[in-house]
Amino acid sequence: MLPSGPSGYAFNRTRHTYLATRLCIAGTYWSRLRGLMVKDAASFRAGEGLWINPSHGVHTFAMRFSIDVVYLDGDKVVILMKENLRPWRVAPFRMRAASVLELPGNTLSSTGTAIGDEIEIALGQAPEAATA
């Protein structure tokens, strides 16, 4: 289970694919600090994600599984990606990053996400998920 708080979705406009249809938004100090610590892989499945806003970088201390990390600038354009970042690591710090998306491992390769892609992040249910 993701941290409680506002939820939404992350859609890759460039590739026309969802990165997360169940996106938790970590916008408070404590929700950003805690992130996915002490969660297990079964509670962070495909289609889920955590948007840490604001953020210039992340760590995977006290995590039990690998994640994909997407750094976004102020326009939500991908400026850096780290695929399958293993537990107990520190990802790079980027001043240019305004926020960071944490996604289950292999999400970036399965969606074809690349640097320069435009990401839409919105509150509420993903439009395609609403009709399913």
Measure the CA–CA gap between 44 and 105, rounded to whole angstroms: 10
With respect to CATH, is domain 7-131 assigned 3.10.520.10?
Answer: no
Cβ of 126: how many Cβ atoms within 10 Å? 20
- pLDDT tens series, the chain, 132 aa: 455 567 899 999 999 999 999 999 887 766 666 667 667 777 789 999 999 999 999 999 988 899 999 999 999 999 999 999 999 999 999 999 999 999 999 999 999 999 999 999 998 888 875 444
- Region of 76 on the Ramachandran plot (φ > 0 left; ψ -120 to 50 alpha; else beta): left
Residues ≥6 apart with Cβ < 8 Å to 27: 5, 6, 53
CB 7 within 8 Å of CB 123? yes
Domain locations in the chain?
7-131
